[in-house]
Amino acid sequence: MTKLLLCVHVLVAILAIGPIAVAASLFPRFVQEAAREPDGRPVAAFLHRTCRAYTVVGLAVPAFGIATGARLGVLTDVWLLTSVALTAGAAALLALAILPGQRRLLADARTDTEPNVRAEAARLAMLTGTFNLLWAVVVVLMIVRPGSTTGA
Task: Give one DSSP letter per residue of 40-106, joined into a string.
Answer: GHHHHHHHHHHHHHHHHHHTHHHHHHHHHHHHHT-TT-HHHHHHHHHHHHHHHHIIIIIHHHHHHHH
Report the pLDDT value the prediction gives residue 91, as an integer from 0 to 100.
97
| pTM exceeds 0.95 for this model | no
3-state secondary structure of 26: helix
Q: What is the pLDDT of residues 20-70, one digit of tens each?
A: 999 999 999 999 998 888 777 899 999 999 999 999 999 999 999 999 999
Q: What is the pLDDT of residues 63-120, one digit of tens each?
A: 999 999 999 999 999 999 999 999 999 999 999 999 999 999 999 888 877 888 999 9
